């Protein structure tokens, strides 16, 4: 499975992150260990929402959508 996930910083509530992975638990641990340069300064992170896909193309398209302007609006209203 492919997971599109939404994280929120526990220390900085206004900091959010959207990503894609095949191993959700390991990826969250990776973020919280400071191994990702994009998220290390805002750790710890908590998982807010995730959506599972069986098709990598659909997962990538959904992640790209969530990072777009209309996707941000959708996520703010429905997912955060």
Which residues are 49's β-sheet partners?
6
CATH architecture, range 2-78:
3-Layer(aba) Sandwich (3.40)
Entry field: residues in the chain: 80
Note the pLDDT of residue 38: 92
Task: Name, in order, each residue with C-beta under 8 angstroms of 10's C-beta and a sequence gap of 6 or more.
Answer: 44, 45, 46
| Contact call for residues 47 and 17 (beta carbons, < 8 A) | no
- Would the pLDDT of 13 be above 90? no
- Beta strand ranges found along 1-80 (DSSP E): 2-9, 16-21, 45-53
> For the segment 32-80, what is each residue's pLDDT rounded down to a tens digit?
999 999 999 999 999 999 999 999 999 999 999 999 999 999 999 999 8
Domain ranges of the chain: 2-78
Q: Copy the structure tokens of residue 9.
A: 């910083």
pLDDT of residue 80: 85
């Amino acid at each position: 499975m492919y997971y599109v996930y939404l994280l929120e910083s526990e220390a900085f509530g206004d900091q959010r992150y959207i990503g894609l992975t095949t191993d959700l638990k390991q990826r969250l641990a990776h973020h919280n260990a400071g191994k990702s340069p994009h998220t290390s300064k805002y750790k710890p992170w908590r998982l807010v929402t995730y959506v599972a896909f069986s098709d990598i193309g659909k997962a990538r398209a959904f992640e790209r959508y969530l990072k777009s302007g209309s996707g941000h609006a959708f996520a703010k209203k429905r997912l955060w």
